[in-house]
Structure formats: C-alpha cells, structure tokens
Amino acid sequence: FPTDRRAAPPGRPGVAPPPQPTAPPDLPARGNGRHRAPALARTPAGARLERPPPTATASATATASAPPTASTPPAPPAAPALPPVPVLERPEVPEERRQCGVCGRPVGRGRDGRPGRVRGFCPSCRTPFSFSPALAAGDELAGYQIVGCLARGGQGWVYLALAPDRPPGPGCLPASAAPARQWVVLKEGLARSRSAAATARLALTVAHPVVVRTLDHIERDGVGYLVMEYVDGRSLREVLRERPAGPDGRPTPLPAAEGVALLRALLPVFGYLHARGLVYCDAKPDNVMVSSRGPRLIDLGALRRLGEPGGLVHTTAGYDAPELAAGGPPTVASDLYALGRLLAVTVLDLPDRTSAFRHRLPERDDDPTLARYAALDQFLRRATDPDPGRRFPNAAAMAAELAVTHREITAIDGIDGTHGILQGSVMTPQGGGSSR
C-alpha cells in the first residue's frame, strides 16, 4: 500500500511503546525497518498485548483439541495459518516528506530549530493532518485486531489487522463483508460526518476483478477507517522508486511498453465505474498494486457519484485535472486525465510533476521516450489536454487508442505484448476480466 516506510525512534510522546510481535523462528525479521506479523493473534476487546501473541498453530491446536460439552457448542474448524506480512517497527514520516493529502503543500515542518508538528491543519487549505499513528499493535477496533502499520498514505496510516471471527462490533456497517480470521487492511482517513459513511457504502457496492474489495467502514474518535482486503505485492509508486538510477541519480522510468500494458489493464475498471455513475477521483501510482497476477486498483476512499454537489474532492497534485484544481466537480474527463498523467509519470522523466510539469508535458524533442514513440506522444497529449472537451470521451475510446499505441511501441522495440512487472499475469485488452 502507498507509503512512507522509513524507520524512526520507537514509541509516541507520553505513551509507553507497546510490545512488538516477534517473528517466528523460521521467519527472520527483515533488515529494512519492518518485522513480520505473527501468523495469528487473539486479544480481548479493548486490551493491549502484554506478551508475544500465540502462533496460529498453537491457537488452532488448543481450540481443536478441547472436547465440546453439553453447554459448550462444538468449536469451529481450526483456521489455516496466515502468511506472514511485514509491518513497520517504528512508523514515522520524516519532516521532509510531510505533505498535505489534499493540496500537496508541505506541512508539519520544523522551523528555528524546533521540530515540526505531527498533528495540525494545512496552512493552505485547512485540511487536518496527522503523522502519528492513532492505533498500535495489540489495539482492537470494532473486533479487528491491529497488528501494526503497513505504510503511510496520503490521508493517514494504513494498518494490518486480523478480521474478527464473530460479527463486527458497534461502529461497523451492518453488511460487513470481512472474511473471518483473515488479514485485512484498515486505511485511516478523516471522518467527515455523513460523507465518509456514504463513500464507504458506495465502495461496498463495487465488484470488479481488478479492484481490491472494500469490506467495511468504522469510525472512532472522529477518525474513519476503510476496511479492505489485503493484497500482496508492491504499489506502483514503490516499483518506480526502486527502478535503477539514471545518470542524474534519480530512478529511471518504466519502459514504455510496460507502462502502457499496465494502463490497459486498469482502464476497464474506469469504464465499469463510469457506467455506474461513479468517478474514482484519485488515480495515482500509490493506488495501484502490482503483483505477478497483474495490477489491482486499491483505495476507493475518494469515490463519488457523478454530478454530486458539494463535499471535499480528494485529488493529488500532479494528477488532478486543471478544472479540478480550479474548484470544478470531478467528471469522466477528469478521471481519464488522471490516468493519462499516471502513464506519463510512469514512462517519462518528469523531474517536477507538481509545479513546472503539473499540467503540461515535456516537448517531444526534450524527452527521449516521446521522441521515440510518436503514437505515445499523441496519446498522452490528448489524454492530458487542458480542455476536457478535447480528451477521450470515455474509457473505451481511450482503451482503443491505447491498444494502437501499444502495438506501435512493441513493433518498434521488437517485443511481445506482456512485459516486465506484468509478466506472469494474464494480459488481455480487458485487463484479465471484463467489466460486469
């Protein structure tokens, strides 16, 4: 999930640091500031763990071996051991990476030798921010057992949790779809009265094979949490950060064929959403997970109905269409603009996507990728045209043009249609599944 995974000093001011779950003997901790979560952990509601939790094998064996009595119903079958998942040992966001999740301006920065605030309000747009996790390992939230932080997203922390083996507690949506005793992800965001719950209910209606399922929504102490299925893999943002360095020391972009193949896999999702009167609003590399099974779109926390008046529109600088930056409502055209920008950031060298290149592309002669592929240059300029009326009218038209672009790129490079980060996945023009 999207991320800031740097390590920092343990604990929070005024609060004793909770004990960290230890890695099983056969799964040594990684050396990148993360440790592996135990296979299974149980804790009473509202309690913190005071000792390392039992392993899945121990809990399952004890439950299965206890004979039922006349007053005790038979125990359910033992749950299978869950795969280990790395979580952050010391979650913190360095000051130089603290930005407003709405307008992208710096927040929480120190001055005059004093450290920056970890909680406050953006001085530009007045959106509240918090860079201190509200939940710790061992906490329980509406039946979900928190294991640790996975990452820091644009609006808050992303937590790994264990779904309850009973109906969710107060604060959950009645129709919670969280699978019992399975890993889930809780994404922290600011609860905004009725709008947060309304967005969650919209997200619960989305069912597409390329979208990570939203399972539940919880609110506590003024903070909302979207509960989503856990999907292994890396975010596209991580993939881009880990690319080999170029002559200037910055990561090189993805090859054009890989970026185009990835966007072709994502476009059917947007056709599916738009056909149902919904707009995604916040397409960006952080919200795309990549694995050997193909890309998945995550985080429906910015989902809105087309034409819905008022409310806060969640976008990200560098991917927001000019009309959104000017205060206009999200539309199909603004969603497709964000996808065009996502492809541009993925395959072009854009040293500053939030200012000089926020709403424009390099000249063709100034970028080697655009100079090599005329069809890609034409596609990106139409997709990110400042005038919404000159962009692609819908996702299907954009996909058709992108297929032509893909064929030109693969012909020039002498390669087939499945590449790099998508190898091992089933790549078709429908992205591995048709819209339902």
- Residue 18 in tokens: 């909770």
| 131: CB partners within 8 A, 6+ apart | 92, 93, 98, 108, 118, 119, 152
**Mean pLDDT over residues 195-220, rounded?**
86
Max avg pLDDT among 7-21, 106-120, 182-196, 417-431: 106-120
Q: How confident is the model at residue 403 (pLDDT cuts 50, 70, 90)?
A: very high
Residue 117 has pLDDT above 70, yes or no: yes
Phi, psi of 389 (to 5 degrees): -70, -15
Beta bridge partners of 160: 148, 185
The owner of tokens 């424009």 is 360
How confident is the model over 298-303, as a mean pLDDT?
87
Instruction: Give CA–CA dist 124/74, Å, rounded.
Output: 59
pLDDT at 320: 93
Q: Is the pLDDT of residue 367 over 80?
A: yes
In this prediction, residue 279 has a pLDDT band, given cuts at 50, 70 and 90, of very high
Q: 222 with 191: CB under 8 angstroms?
A: yes
* Residue 376: predicted pLDDT: 98
CA 163 to chain centre: 19
Q: What is the mean pLDDT of residues 131-158?
A: 87
Q: Kindly list the catalytic residues.
A: 282
Given a cut of 60, is residue 21 above it in pLDDT? no
Task: Kindly indicate the confidence band of residue 81, based on its pLDDT and cuts at 50, 70 and 90.
Answer: low
What mean pLDDT is predicted for residues 352-358? 75
Q: Are 162 and 229 a contacting pair, CB within 8 Å?
A: no
Q: What is the pLDDT of residue 413?
A: 93
List the single range of 79-88, 266-275, 323-332 with lowest mean pLDDT: 79-88
Does the pLDDT value for residue 381 go beyond 70?
Answer: yes
Per-range mean pLDDT, top range of 101-105, 189-193, 330-334: 330-334
Which pLDDT value is given to residue 332?
A: 98
Picking from 195, 285, 191, the residue whose alpha carbon sits closest to that of residue 243 is 285
| Structure confidence by residue, pLDDT tens digits, 166-205 | 555 444 544 455 666 789 999 887 565 556 778 888 898 9
* Three-state SS annotation for the chain: CCCCCCCCCCCECCECCCCCCCCCCCCCCCCCCEEECCCCCCCCCCCCCCCCCCCHHHHHHHHHHCCCCCCCCCCCCCCCCCCCCEEECCCCCCHHHCECCCCCCECCCCECCECCCCEEECCCCCCEEECCCCCCCCCEECCEEEEEEEEECCCCEEEEEECCCCCCCCCCCCCCCCCCCCEEEEEEEECCHHHHHHHHHHHHCCCCCCECCEEEEEEECCEEEEEEECCCCEEHHHHHHCCCECCCCCECCCCHHHHHHHHHHHHHHHHHHHHCCEECCCCCHHHEEEECCEEEECCCCCCEECCCCCCCCCCCCCCCCHHHHCCCCCCHHHHHHHHHHHHHHHHCCCCCCCCCCCCCCCCHHHCHHHHHCHHHHHHHHHHCCCCHHHCCCCHHHHHHHHHHHHHHHHHHHCCCCCCHHHCCCCCCCCCCCCCC
The number of CA neighbours under 13 Å toward the Cβ of 283 is 28
Q: What percent of the chain has pLDDT over 90?
A: 39
Residue 188 is predicted with a pLDDT of 85
Residue with tokens 């591995």: 432
Lowest model confidence (mean pLDDT) among 17-26, 114-123, 277-286: 17-26
With 80 as the cut, is the pLDDT of residue 233 above it? yes
The per-residue pLDDT of the chain, averaged, comes to 77
Give the per-residue pLDDT at 291: 84
Which pair of structure tokens corresponds to residue 302? 């910015």
pLDDT over threshold 50, residue 435: no
Confidence at 134, pLDDT banded by 50, 70, 90: confident
Q: How far apart are CA 243 and CA 252, in angstroms?
A: 6
**Per-range mean pLDDT, top range of 80-89, 129-138, 425-434:** 129-138
Question: What is the model's pLDDT at position 152?
Answer: 81
Lowest-pLDDT range of 106-110, 220-224, 272-276, 422-426 = 422-426
How far apart are alpha carbons 294 and 275 in whole angstroms? 23
The more confident residue out of 403 and 170 is 403
Distance (Å, whole) CA 306 – CA 278: 5
The whole-angstrom separation of Cα 282 and Cα 302 is 6
pTM of the model: 0.71
Q: How many CB atoms lie within 10 A of CB 132?
A: 15
Whether residue 262 contacts residue 346, with contact meaning beta carbons closer than 8 Å, is answered with: yes
pLDDT for 177 equals 58
Which carries the bigger pLDDT value, residue 144 or residue 176?
A: 144
Residues 108-120, mean pLDDT to the nearest whole number = 89
pLDDT of 391 above 90 = yes
Do 153 and 3 contact (CB within 8 A), yes or no? yes
Please tell me the least confidently modeled range out of 19-28, 30-39, 108-117, 152-161.
Answer: 19-28
Backbone angles phi and psi of 189, in degrees to 5:
-150, 165
Instruction: Tell which wins on pLDDT, 27 or 132.
Output: 132
What confidence tens digit (pLDDT) does each residue in 53-77 have?
333 332 333 333 445 455 555 554 4
CA distance 316 to 358: 10
Q: Return the minimum-mean-pLDDT range out of 37-41, 221-225, 294-298, 429-433.
A: 429-433
